Structure 1
Amino acid sequence: MNKSITDELFAILDTVVLEHLNDCYFQVVGNVPKWFIQFYPDVTSEENKINLQTKFPFLENFLIDAEDFWHDNIPQPLKSGLWSEIDMSGQECHLEASAVRLENKKILLIELLGVAYEEKQSLIQKARQNSLTHHYLLKETQKKEILLHCILHDVAGQLTGINCCFALLAMENLTAKGRDRLEIGKRQSIKQEMLIQEILKAFSAEVKSLEDFTVDSAQAPDAVRCAREVVEALLPTFSLNKRILQLEPNIDLAQDWKVVGENSRLERVLFNLVENAFRHSPLGSTVTVDVNQDGEFILFTVDDEGPGVPEDISKNLFQKFSQGREKSGKAGLGLYFCRITVERWGGSIGYSTRPKGGSCFWFRLPRAVLQAQAGNQN
């Protein structure tokens, strides 16, 4: 490129090019930007020598670092950082200097930032505001969690007293009807205790889902093994209540089934989905747990032969305290735990209606082996 064009280009970009001579003196190279003349009005040609520290005291320490930088002949530029000066007209100028070495010459570039500075300041301000908002929300969440635990602690204490009263009543000489009513009260008390535990689990799950998990295939959970253990754990409950629970028999055990996650929480996700299917399955029906390869993911499915989920409810199934119309079982927290856990691990979760009737709850998790390989490549 023609030198005159280059000189003019730097001036248009509001950048002055200076060559270091000796001590504190510099000489302008090329055209002089208008803003620079407001600081050094006598500098109109390359013949003038300039002492930058007289007008830009900020550069005093930077030039010491720049001298070492030029001596070491480092290829990347050395930035001074942003600073501001007031010119002869009283206007504030936002500047940044860069030291470079070209053809054994010590070059200093000083740029008037203008719009770029305003954009940087705006981004910094937004970042600070977002940080303050984050800390505020974090404190508010902590306050609510403390309040929630205090309330539940008080309620649990009252339930303990009620249970003691029930235990004492059971020792009394009650009529048959009285004992029936006592049993009803005890069952309701147990349900209330379970509700308290479910609420505590849901809120602690939000914290738990942020804890460490593994992408290393050597330590990652095995999808099929987790599915088998959950099926074996719940099989007696299904059999006792005349329902069938099975693990899909055609799973290829020779495949690698390692997924991103943590073993105990993965089992709990599967446990919640299978237990949910149990509560909505009619007598004699079958619930099937299946695991399939899905590209870079492993797909888990839990199929049941129940009535399915109404369309207006299915949209909010995985929200906190979401329940079906019958509201059978728990407080609508199990599916919420599943969602925040699976999404934390980089997966997705959903629901679909089976063509032959019933529900299919599914979730995908990244394959741990691919995650580990990607980490090694990076």
Structure 2
Amino acid sequence: MKIVDGGVCAVNGVLAAGACDDDYGVAVIVCKDSDSTAVFTSNKIVAAPVILTKNAVENGKLSAVVANSGNANCFTGDQGIEDGKAMASVVAEELDFKFEDVAVASTGVIGRLMPMDIIGSLIKKAVLRLENSAEASKNAAEAIMTTDTYSKEFAVETTLKNGKSIRIGGITKGSGMIAPNMGTMLCFITTDVKASSSELNTALKKAVDASFNMVVVDGDESTNDTVILMANGESGESIDENFEEALEYVCCQLASMMAKDGEGATKFMEVEVNGAVNTEEARLAAKAVVSSSLVKTALFGADPNWGRIVAAVGYSGADIDPKVVSVSLQSLNKRVDIVDHGIIAAFEGTSQLEEAEDIMEEKNIRIIIDLGLGNGNATAYGCDLSYDYVSINAEYTT
């Protein structure tokens, strides 16, 4: 597997574009006549575009996605549905696609009607700019940013078991309202494999469980979360284990970018849990640690407070034996054990505590927890909780 440039446009035949106007942006991605699938938020309040896109992917085919930033089109009633349909209709008419083959996604403020004069104009501008290039993918990624501080895209080329190469590329947005059931995130992934919607759905759900469902910024779950996977079949190659591994890798890279760009974040944390009874319990433990406000504030304050870490594991629902649990901190160049098989290793006056404090000053910190009970393992992604997070969200609509 190798990393390649181009985001969604790393895949042959995929076109993308973005257009922006002050607080609003529109991205259009074209992957004509693709077998497609999607996963969505589990919030019981869902935005109009989620409803429309669920219907659009029912037949397993998509030709395009149109996504806007600046307005979530959520809690907007019948008018919101009509506005979402209007977005899809503009793309369908401009590109001569079937209306039902165009997916819609939105992100931004909840409870405000869409400014369709602005959005409609931006869609038409984006359609005119469609092309297969790295710049086009970047423009699309930038157009869907809200409180993101940078655009997020990633692509790989991998070799299947038969020796043939395929590509997978994606763009995403998200930095706040990020919970363990995806987040305020939109993600669009393209690939050139040839596969049915059912095969794609199985692979996507597996990848999302290991990536977007393992990222936490603030624990709030969005109304708009959408991940769409489109396969245009240009390679003629079928899905195998190597494809699934590459898809999971792409999703994990995009998820970690979201955590690093968390609203107000100054530090990124990766929590690896090993030795759990099973994978499910490892995921529970890892998510509890990255979700903990006390762990997140300790991260911000560079405090190696291992008590908060083990407390989070304790209430996670995963089995834990205090006598065998170990906790380590790791930076790029240093690793230190702070709890070793239930024994405190980093306490006042020890070199371990000094090393732990040094590690907590770093920008990227890995927390490694070994529960010593089995073979289950999982990794979750998160960030610290800073003063700026409060400031950003206290003034979000004002």
TM tier relative to shorter chain: under 0.3
Structure with the larger strand share: 2
TM-score by length of 2: 0.19
Select the structure of larger CA radius of gyration.
1
